[in-house]
Amino acid sequence: MKLFVSEGNPHCLKVLAALEVTGVQCGVQTVSHEEKVVPFLSRPALPALLLPSGQYLFSSNAICRYFFEANGQECNNLCNQWLEWETTVLQPALLQTLHMAVLQGKGSEASKVLQSPLNVLDQSLSKGNMSYLTGEAVSVADVVLWGTLHPVLSDSPSASSEHESVRTWFDRVAALHSCQSAAQKVLQGKGLQAMKSYVQKQPAPPSSQCRDAQPCNS
Amino acid sequence: MALRELASLEKYLGLKKPNKYSTQGDKKIPVLQNNSPPLVGLVTIACHLVKESNHQELLGDTADSRAVVQQWLEYRLTRLDIYTKEDIKTVLKDLNLYLQDKVFLAGNHVTLADILIYYGLHPIIVDLAVQEKEEYVNVTRWFDHIQHHPGIRHHLPPVVVLRNRIYTSRHR
């Protein structure tokens, strides 16, 4: 089994943290963003995991889920729901934010994109009244959402100033040794700028292109 | 769309008790109402329905195949529900290469990944010209196999797939 990662790639935060939290034995190889690891995909996709069966996983959430399951921690309904929300709502918003903040230097506008998902997360956390997203123990959902939010929340504490429950939860997960060492490996203490070369190689998110060329629906 | 898929999946799984659904937001994200608390999201609900049925094997029967199933379920949400024309070509090209040496998306039998990718691909395959169907021959073969698998097609019209190439040479 072998995990392929690249430096400054925000998706690698969660898989490295998940690997360390679960203690699964797996070799890690750092490659360049452009390296084609998964043979059947036309675009490079990292991180990627080569499974013992010889198959490849090319989505960071599926990889995290695999590590947790190997450690005997299966994902329940609530956990599945958070992962689906992260994939369909949070990740697109985050990529748009990174694109605006890292490439266009629009930091303050960028943080607005995340307001609505952060509201959802904050409401749920304050209603649930639990230490972590799915209960009193860290689950794959916590690691995945931490990894996605790390680039924006660790850099500027003000980004979540109105979201007290998000901040408390985020700091709790971020304090885990596994998360700290994953962040160090991927970002090397350089913060958002460490992701520049990665973000440059990604296609521009549709809504930010749209915002630049007003009016939107002409 | 998603609600009809879930209704078809319920029938395929042989669930007797009908569930109550609603949708959320502009994207009409399905919500399973008769669960406490309500469950949100197509894949989350579909996995829940499978767990309720006697067909756990649909989620994969080894750790590897369970991961591969989840991988393609996520692919369905991120690549097939939001796409541009250019994306479709990449999706079909990648799937075609992936399916080159495979009968199913994960493991050796049909899984939830085959079912939901089939539902998600249906509107795309319906629009393909015959020549394109031949270009993506492995996708077409897999698609035809799944649509003929007993109990899966339900709400969708069958797509005609020619089993013999007609464009063997361009100028005939």
B41 in the Ramachandran plot: left (φ > 0), alpha (ψ -120 to 50) or beta?
left
Q: In this complex, do A69 and B62 lie within 8 Å of one another by their Cβ atoms?
A: no
Q: In this complex, do B44 and A69 lie within 8 Å of one another by their Cβ atoms?
A: no
The answer to whether A28 touches A182, Cβ cutoff 8 Å, is: no
Residue A174 Cα, gap to closest chain B Cα (Å): 26
Packing angle of the helix pair A77-85, A140-153 (nearest 10 deg): 30
Q: In this complex, do A80 and B48 lie within 8 Å of one another by their Cβ atoms?
A: yes
Q: In this complex, do B77 and A88 lie within 8 Å of one another by their Cβ atoms?
A: yes
Nearest to A104 by CA among A216, A214, A218, A205: A205
User: Mean of the per-residue pLDDT values for chain A?
Assistant: 89
Residue A65 Cα, gap to closest chain B Cα (Å): 7
Over residues B44-71, the pLDDT tens digits come to 999 999 999 989 999 999 999 999 999 9
Residue type at B126 in one-letter notation:
V
Over residues B68-83, the pLDDT tens digits come to 999 999 999 999 987 7
Mean pLDDT in residue range A115-143:
94
Q: Which helix (H) or strand (E) segment is A140 a member of?
A: helix A140-153
Assess whether pLDDT exceeds 80 at residue B28: yes
Specify the pLDDT at position A214: 36
Nearest to A62 among B74, B90, B93 (CB): B74
Q: Which helix (H) or strand (E) segment is B47 a member of?
A: helix B42-52
Reduced to 3 states, what is the DSSP secondary structure of residue B123? helix
Reduced to 3 states, what is the DSSP secondary structure of residue B17? coil
B62 touches chain A (CB under 8 A): yes
Assess whether pLDDT exceeds 70 at residue A211: no
More confident of the two residues A211 and B18: B18
Over residues A25-66, the pLDDT tens digits come to 999 999 998 899 999 999 889 999 999 999 999 999 999 999
Q: In this complex, do B67 and A40 lie within 8 Å of one another by their Cβ atoms?
A: no
Residue type at A143 in one-letter notation:
V
B64 touches chain A (CB under 8 A): yes
Domains of chain B: 2-147 (1.20.1050.10)
Residue B101 Cα, gap to closest chain A Cα (Å): 11
Reported confidence tier of residue B156, pLDDT bands at 50, 70, 90: very high
DSSP β-bridge partners for residue A50 = A2, A56
Residues from chain A contacting residue B90 (CB–CB below 8 Å): 42-43
Straight-line distance from the first to the last Cα atom of chain A, in angstroms, rounded to the nearest whole number? 50
Specify the pLDDT at position B160: 84
Reported confidence tier of residue A109, pLDDT bands at 50, 70, 90: confident
Residue A189 Cα, gap to closest chain B Cα (Å): 31
Query: Between A and B, how many CB-CB pairs are < 8 A?
Result: 73
Assess whether pLDDT exceeds 70 at residue A97: yes
Specify the pLDDT at position A158: 63
Radius of gyration of chain A (CA): 17
- CB atoms under 10 Å from CB of A166, counted, come to 24
Please name the residue that has the structure tokens 């939860």. Answer: A169
Residues from chain B contacting residue A85 (CB–CB below 8 Å): 40-41
The answer to whether B8 touches B155, Cβ cutoff 8 Å, is: yes
Please name the residue that has the structure tokens 């002409």. Answer: A218
Over residues B7-20, the pLDDT tens digits come to 999 999 999 888 99
